Amino acid sequence: MTVRPVPGAALLAVFGMIALGECLARPAAEPPAERCGATRLHGWIGQPVAALDDQYLPETMRLIRPGDMASPEQNPGRLNVTLDGAGRVVAFHCG
């Protein structure tokens, strides 16, 4: 029996397939926008902030008005609501 060395490209392909299999086997992490519910609120963009229904909002929420200084700390569960000068919702994001 003769043992032949495996070409480098074939060996890389095998290890690449193993690594890809590991990535596919793991459940995907929850997208950041889903931690605070920002994506489900996009229908409220353009509405006055007073129109937001409390039942759809998380406990931790921050309103950011033009000129406000927002703290740099990040909290993936906190909903940030960005408002325009008229008090209408411009955007939702987590952080």
CA 95 – CA 13 distance, rounded (Å): 39
Which structure tokens are listed for 27? 């459940």
- Please, what is the end-to-end C-alpha distance for the chain in angstroms? 62
Residue 50 β-bridge partners: none
pTM above threshold 0.95? no
Spell out the domains of the chain, with CATH numbers in brackets: 30-94 (3.30.10.10)
Q: Return the pLDDT at 35.
A: 81
* Segments of the chain scoring below 50 in pLDDT: 11, 33
CA 81 – CA 94 distance, rounded (Å): 9
Q: Where do runs of H (alpha helix) occur along the chain?
A: 8-25, 32-35
Which structure tokens are listed for 85? 């000068």
